[in-house]
């Protein structure tokens, strides 16, 4: 009898605990939802200031999310972000909105947007400035990327104790061969293209001359675009500007003023009074400041015109399935757009460093089928390289930002083994058995032999030839011309126009207008694919994670994984010989 009393009491306790946990869980969901964005259209008052805080990320697409870190262990909560197209549209609307008196740019020294999106944002600000409304910038500290944006402003202010450590544009690379040798791990790289530097960090302990050349020319191309824009806006001699950077003359607020990079150094109170004076109010409390993400919610979402222009986003690494661009899901999405008779033209927005060659080909085939029925125009974001270029090359027209990284027309296969590590460190002798000589080719417990490497090289050469034919057809170039600019070399958008793999410098809005003209539309509305996930959907994914992601990615987030940890991810993901059309690295520039 006592047993059943104890058992029932324990069962009741478990049920009560379960109910309480469910209540707490749904209370947490409610808190998260309330912390996120609201669907209500905000009210904009007269003499409002449109504020662009450069510490707030501008990404590819607008995404709902929470407004603060809720401190839940091992769960990366989705943060709200503004998409670049919505940001541009918001600035355009503000230029015509009588209630918006000016734009205020603020910089705390950390810019969270990519190079290409900064470029498109700057172009939109220039157009706003040309409409006659003032643009003002104030920085506690200015980063290079922040100053690139701020240089558009009529007046640039900096805190009197602020900093502007402009030292040029840089990127760092790590090479792991020596460490891998000690661990007994060997990578075998089979590639076509002397510039195809993907996985070079695993087989070398220093950068190759070809890789150094392409990276330096790429960095210089980006820098030339940025520095030219800054110097034109501020009426500074480029030679003086570059000399000041080389000699580390730019750093303090006073040095920035002496070089005409800013107009005044101000305390916070002095800056506030400046802004009050510009909009004709006496006190800070009377200022009506509207963040751009909030103002973007006032954009007219109603359907204008009968014509529809679809914007199809492809963001991330290309794979058959998984996070990033899933080829299987992508093909189904393209088919849906192709069959929709109401869609007159398509803009394909690409932000991808490439990935699986076979997956890229399935995507390209679907896009070609679509292009046979509707105009297809490409718009490049941060990356449209290797596999990202494979799927884009045959579009009717390609628009790219100047700082987009594109090209990387090359192929590689990567295999690794830990045979030496097993033998030397763990004293394990691996034995392979098979019915034929090469039955265990690609097994991680042994390296590939010369015949197997030659066999894999044939696939690499076959895919490289296919890649060149795709580019030749799409860009109307001879195979010899394609090969001369291919070899795995990465180009910027500016260089891409020069060598013929890009048609025109322009952002997503330019591509949409061009696609509309091909579709015969003067008035139209834009529909975006795939559907943006709701805040609840993104949040639940953050809780549950994805079975296709490694534990490191789920806990730390891919951007926060160190390069050493990235090796572990690569070993986890590349556990068999596979052929890739991918960029060498995901570049993380210092700006």
Q: Which residue has the tokens 């909009």?
A: 279
Gap between the Cα atoms of 384 and 317, Å rounded: 11
Q: Which two tokens stand for residue 318?
A: 């290309």
Find the catalytic residue in 386, 392, 400, 413. 386
Which helix or strand (DSSP H or E) is residue 495 part of?
Answer: helix 493-499
Spatial CA neighbour of 136 closest among 276, 293, 275, 260: 275
Beta strand 82-83 with 307-315 is unpaired
Spatial CA neighbour of 84 closest among 41, 128, 114: 114
Q: 243: cis peptide before it, omega within 30°?
A: no
319: Cβ–Cβ under 8 A, 6 or more apart, which residues?
A: 325, 326, 327, 355, 356, 359
Give buried/exposed letters for 311-342 (b at 16+ CB in 10 A, else e): bbbbbbbbbeebebbbbeebbebbeebbeeee
Gap between the Cα atoms of 195 and 192, Å rounded: 9
Q: Give percent helix, percent strand, percent coil of the chain, each to the nearest 5.
A: 45, 20, 35
Gap between the Cα atoms of 169 and 67, Å rounded: 31
Q: Which residue has the tokens 């590939």?
A: 448
**What's the residue count for the chain?**
591
Q: Which two tokens stand for residue 4?
A: 């059943």
From the number of C-beta atoms within 10 Å of its C-beta (0-12, 13-18, 19+), residue 434 rates as exposed
SS3 call for 313: strand
Determine contact, residues 378/358, Cβ cutoff 8 Å. no
Told to judge if 249 belongs to the known catalytic residues of this protein, a careful annotator would answer no
Determine contact, residues 306/314, Cβ cutoff 8 Å. no
Told to judge if 386 belongs to the known catalytic residues of this protein, a careful annotator would answer yes
From the number of C-beta atoms within 10 Å of its C-beta (0-12, 13-18, 19+), residue 573 rates as middle
For the chain, the farthest-separated pair of C-alpha atoms sits apart, in whole angstroms, at 94
Find the catalytic residue in 437, 484, 544, 590. 437
From the number of C-beta atoms within 10 Å of its C-beta (0-12, 13-18, 19+), residue 435 rates as exposed
- Give the 3-state secondary structure of 341-367: CCEEEEEEEEEECEEEHHHHHHHHHHH
Spatial CA neighbour of 289 closest among 68, 38, 103: 103
What is the secondary structure of 369-414 as a DSSP string?
HHHTTS-EEEEEEEEEETHHHHTTTTSSEEEE-TT-EEE---EEEE
Spatial CA neighbour of 162 closest among 262, 49, 278, 248: 262
Residues acting as catalytic residues: 386, 437
């Amino acid at each position: 009898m006592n047993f059943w009393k104890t058992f029932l009491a324990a069962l009741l306790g478990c049920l009560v605990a379960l109910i309480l946990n469910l209540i707490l869980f749904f209370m947490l969901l409610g808190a998260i939802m309330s912390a996120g964005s609201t669907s209500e259209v905000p009210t904009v008052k007269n003499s409002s200031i449109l504020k662009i805080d450069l510490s707030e990320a501008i990404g590819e697409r607008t995404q709902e999310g929470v407004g603060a870190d809720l401190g839940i262990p091992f769960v990366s909560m989705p943060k709200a972000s503004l998409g670049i197209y919505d940001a541009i549209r918001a600035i355009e609307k503000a230029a015509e909105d009588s209630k918006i008196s000016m734009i205020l740019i603020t910089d705390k020294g950390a810019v969270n947007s990519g190079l290409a999106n900064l470029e498109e944002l700057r172009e939109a600000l220039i157009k706003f400035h040309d409409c006659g409304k003032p643009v003002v910038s104030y920085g506690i500290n200015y980063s290079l990327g922040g100053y690139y944006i701020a240089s558009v402003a009529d007046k640039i202010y900096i805190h009197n104790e602020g900093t502007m450590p402009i030292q040029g544009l840089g990127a760092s690379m790590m090479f792991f061969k020596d460490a891998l040798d000690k661990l007994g791990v060997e990578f075998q790289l089979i590639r076509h293209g002397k510039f195809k530097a993907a996985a070079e960090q695993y087989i070398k302990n220093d950068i190759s001359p070809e890789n150094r050349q392409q990276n330096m020319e790429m960095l210089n191309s980006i820098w030339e675009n940025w520095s030219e824009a800054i110097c034109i806006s501020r009426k500074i001699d480029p030679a003086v500007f570059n000399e000041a950077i080389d000699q580390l003359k730019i750093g303090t607020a006073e040095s920035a003023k002496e070089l005409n990079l800013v107009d005044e150094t101000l305390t916070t109170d002095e800056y506030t009074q400046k802004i009050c004076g510009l909009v004709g109010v006496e006190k800070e409390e009377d200022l009506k400041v509207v963040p751009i993400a909030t103002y973007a919610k006032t954009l007219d979402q109603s359907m204008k015109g009968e014509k529809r222009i679809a914007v199809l986003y492809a963001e991330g690494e290309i794979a058959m399935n998984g996070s990033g661009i899933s080829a299987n899901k992508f093909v189904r999405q393209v088919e849906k757009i192709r069959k929709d008779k109401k869609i007159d033209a398509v803009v394909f927005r690409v932000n991808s460093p490439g990935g699986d060659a076979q997956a890229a080909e399935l995507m390209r085939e679907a896009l070609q089928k679509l292009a046979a029925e509707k105009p297809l125009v490409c718009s490049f974001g941060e990356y449209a390289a290797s596999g990202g270029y494979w799927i884009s090359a045959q579009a009717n027209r390609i628009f790219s930002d100047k700082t987009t990284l594109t090209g990387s027309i090359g192929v590689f296969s990567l295999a690794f083994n830990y045979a030496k590590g097993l033998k030397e460190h763990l004293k394990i002798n691996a034995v392979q058995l098979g019915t034929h000589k090469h039955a265990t080719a690609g097994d991680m417990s042994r390296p590939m032999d010369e015949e197997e490497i030659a066999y894999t090289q044939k696939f690499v050469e076959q895919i490289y030839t296919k890649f060149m034919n795709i580019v030749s057809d799409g860009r109307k170039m001879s195979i010899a011309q394609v090969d001369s600019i291919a070899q795995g070399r990465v180009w910027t958008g500016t260089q891409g126009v020069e060598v013929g793999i890009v048609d025109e410098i322009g952002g997503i809005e330019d591509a949409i207008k061009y696609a509309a003209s091909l579709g015969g539309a003067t008035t139209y509305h834009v529909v975006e694919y795939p559907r943006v996930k709701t805040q609840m959907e993104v949040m639940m994914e953050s809780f549950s994670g994805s079975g296709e992601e490694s534990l490191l990615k789920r806990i730390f987030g891919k951007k926060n994984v160190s390069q050493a940890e990235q090796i572990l991810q690569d070993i986890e993901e590349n556990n068999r010989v596979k052929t890739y059309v991918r960029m060498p690295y995901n570049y993380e520039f210092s700006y």
